Amino acid sequence: MQIIPVTTKQQLKQFILLPFSLYKKDPNWVAPMISEQMKYFNPLENPYYEHSEVQLFLAISKGKVVGRISAHTNTQHNKFHEDKVGFFGFFECINDQKVADALLETAKDWNCKHGMDTLRGPMNLSTNDECGLLIEGFDTPPFVMMVHNHPYYLGLIEKAGFVKAMDLNAWLTETLEVPERLIRLAKMIERKNTFTIRTLNKKDLKHDIETVFTVYQAAWERNWGFVPMTKKEFDHLVATLLPIVDPEMVFIAEVDGKPAGFCVGLPDYNVILKKFNGRITPLGIFWMLYYTKFFPKKLGRARVLTMGVVKEFQNRGIDIMFYYHSFINGHKKGFYQGEYSWVLETNTMMNQIAVDLMARAYKKFRILDSKI
């Protein structure tokens, strides 16, 4: 067996296509769009490469790809947290401890040469992207922009010397009615009238996007694992999400005209993407967007992707109102199943709110560490 760095376009294709063979019998796996993956790993397309280094590796046995991993630095993380943490991601592997050990050891060695003292993952590539290893809830498909992996991965990584750093919860709510408790709380908060909630303004998207970026930087900085995005990274993320965002599922809170928080809900496009098996034509994209715009009930579910409130405006009920309006607008579109993800296990308040909203913690993801 050999571990080789990805240096050619052909090797990159092998890297991207490996999961297609590993999950061909898994009915819950949703294939990523191959064309989008090619762009993601292109340094000219992904602004992550402007501040950090990424190296992809393949495990080859008897001429066949049996595993893959990324080793990468994150200068944004280490500057903000003042540490020397290196990362691994995109871990996929046959059920073979020797292969897993070799891949993870390669990621350690690579990060050690880059001055790191800890290896953390999986991160694809940071907490601003897909992250965590699924350890509970393998029996249902992932919502949009969430990971799905084989159950045996946890054992492979732990036996390679990694220990839990943090768990992430995904909460699921399934109801045809807005929870009565949420309605009562919303009415109480509305009577106080200390802030306003509005949806995304399609006529002034640039202003609203700048507002969201400002709130994002201020609201998440105290969270474990927070990584500040550069303006280019944020703009790139917006450009990726904008075609699939439903403006009526994005909310901005303001206090006396000042940005106080935002909440982004995404229709679960995985319901449709699953049918394309990673290969989608421009015509397929057209029909996907057409049906999700005019017939959203075909999806039936949405994910609350991110939500944050600036510290000085917390404890006013802004988060409660975000959930309330997500329910109201989501139900109008036929979204009767919703996922709140992900939520740090240490975020007691948000986890309790999910319980109060009659949601259940149905998936759990883990981020693991190992000293180098």
**pLDDT of 315 strictly over 80:** yes
Q: What amino acid is encoded at 346 in this protein?
A: T
Q: What pTM did the predictor assign?
A: 0.94
Q: Tell me, what's the pLDDT at 219?
A: 76
The model's pLDDT over 110-146, given as tens digits with 9 standing for 90+, comes to 999 999 999 999 999 999 999 999 999 999 999 999 9
Q: Tell me, what's the pLDDT at 363?
A: 98
Q: Tell me, what's the pLDDT at 295?
A: 67
Q: Tell me, what's the pLDDT at 190?
A: 92
The model's pLDDT over 171-187, given as tens digits with 9 standing for 90+, comes to 999 988 999 999 999 99
Please tell me what DSSP assigns to residue 324: H
The model's pLDDT over 286-299, given as tens digits with 9 standing for 90+, comes to 766 666 666 677 78
Please give the backbone phi and psi of residue 68, each rounded to the nearest 5 degrees, phi first. Answer: -155, 160
C-alpha distances out from residue 117 to 12, 73, 90, 120, 124, Å: 28, 12, 20, 10, 20
CB 340 within 8 A of CB 173: yes
d(Cα 319, Cα 336) in Å, to the nearest integer?
20
Mean of the per-residue pLDDT values of the chain: 92
**pLDDT of 60 strictly over 80:** yes
* CA dihedral of 351, 129, 364, 358, whole degrees rounded to 10: 40
Q: Give residue 9's pLDDT band: very low, low, confident or very high (50, 70, 90).
A: very high
The model's pLDDT over 256-268, given as tens digits with 9 standing for 90+, comes to 989 999 999 999 9
Which has the higher per-residue pLDDT, 202 or 136?
136
Coil, helix or strand at residue 110? helix
Coil, helix or strand at residue 176? coil
Report the phi/psi class of residue 193: left, alpha or beta, with left for phi > 0 and alpha for psi in -120 to 50.
left
Q: Tell me, what's the pLDDT at 368?
A: 98
Say how many residues make up the chain: 372
Q: Tell me, what's the pLDDT at 291?
A: 67
The model's pLDDT over 226-265, given as tens digits with 9 standing for 90+, comes to 898 998 998 888 888 887 788 899 999 999 989 999 999 9
**pLDDT of 68 strictly over 80:** yes
**pLDDT of 209 strictly over 90:** no
d(Cα 122, Cα 86) in Å, to the nearest integer?
11
**pLDDT of 282 strictly over 90:** no
The model's pLDDT over 16-32, given as tens digits with 9 standing for 90+, comes to 999 999 999 999 999 99
